[in-house]
Amino acid sequence: MKEIVIATKNSDKKRELTMLLKGTGIRIISLDKYPAYPKVREGSKSFRENAVRKAMAASRFTRKITLADDSGLQVNALGGRPGIRSSRFAGTNATYAQNNQLLLKLLKGKKTKQRGAQFICVAAICDYPKLVGVVEGTVKGGIALAPKGKSGFGYDPIFIIPRYKKTFAQLGPKIKNRLSHRAQALKRAKRLITIYFNSKAQ
């Protein structure tokens, strides 16, 4: 059976990636199946470098084709922050709520037009030592004045999609998985993965 490893132990991200990769006919394995896998430092300066580093490391360790993504939120008024530090914006072990609270605090007093932001996701596919490909997805929006909605994770409760005037957390997974940065990147990744597996079978 065709298999691909998702290079994450984050349960929320794993669930979302698994959902987005459905329909490929490929068995999806997470790093939870490899308890001895060491944590990879995300010390790079870009989403791309982090995604490639994680994909390469996981593929080398598992000896399987691996997909890794690095994603984050860029807020225009904060010069692109939190960026690659999105998951640890309020500290190394910060919760989703703490990251959201810090971001809202830094934007306090900013009007709607000054609260523009974008989510970015870069996904890398690796069959060590070969880098199969790197894809990207971006979705533009804005930051709410306060958290709204109970769905999703991360910055979903404060990221507004202008078309709906609601946050990702309010819209729910059905709409989010059609519009999000990760959905866009994974749609492109699915094509690369399918082509690559087909080429290996020939």
Residues with catalytic function: 70
154 and 96 in contact (C-beta within 8 Å)? Answer: yes
CA atoms within 13 A on the CB side of 58: 31
Residue whose pair of structure tokens reads 């999000």 in the numeric block: 180
- Number of alpha helices (DSSP H) and beta strands (DSSP E) in the chain: 6, 7
* 25: its two tokens: 């006919």
Alpha carbon 132 to its chain's center: 19
Helix (H), strand (E) at residue 178 = helix 173-179
Maximum C-alpha span of the chain: 60
CA atoms within 13 A on the CB side of 61: 21
Give the residue from 124, 167, 174, 176 showing the smallest Cα distance to 147: 167
For residue 78, how many other CB atoms are within 10 A of its CB? 17
Relative to beta strand 3-6, strand 66-75 is parallel
